[in-house]
Amino acid sequence: MVGHKDVVLALLGASAGLAGLVLVFLGLVLNAYAGLDNPVPKGTKRPYRQVGGGLLAAFAIGLACVVVAATWLTELQDNHTLYLATVYLFFVQIAALVGTTAWTSKELLWD
C-alpha cells in the first residue's frame, strides 16, 4: 500500500515540473508578444494578454500545490485536510494545463 507521504512527494515533484512547463509556455507567449512590431492594433495584442493571464493563473495553481505539499511534508502529523488539498490542487493544475494549452493553441495558432 502506498502511504500518504509517498503520494505527496510524487505530487510535489510532478507539480513543480508542470509549473515549470507552464512557465516555458508563458515565456513563449511573452516572446511572441514582445516580437510584435510597433505600432500594432490593440486587437492584435489582446489574445496574447488573455493567454498570458491564463498561463499565469495555471502557474499560480501549480505553485499553490507545491506550497501545500511542502507544508504537509513539514508538519509533524498527518494533516488530512492538507493532504486532500494537495491531491485536489494537483488535479486542478492538470485541468488548468490542458485548458491553457488548448486555449493558447486556439488563440495563437488557429484563428
CB 98 within 8 A of CB 49: no
Residue ranges of domains in the chain: 4-108
Q: What is the model's pTM?
A: 0.88
Which of the four pLDDT bands, split at 50, 70 and 90, describes residue 68?
very high
What per-residue confidence (pLDDT) applies to 35?
A: 86
DSSP secondary structure code for residue 57 in this structure: H
pLDDT tens profile 80-94: 999 999 999 999 999
Lowest mean pLDDT among 24-33, 52-61, 78-87: 24-33
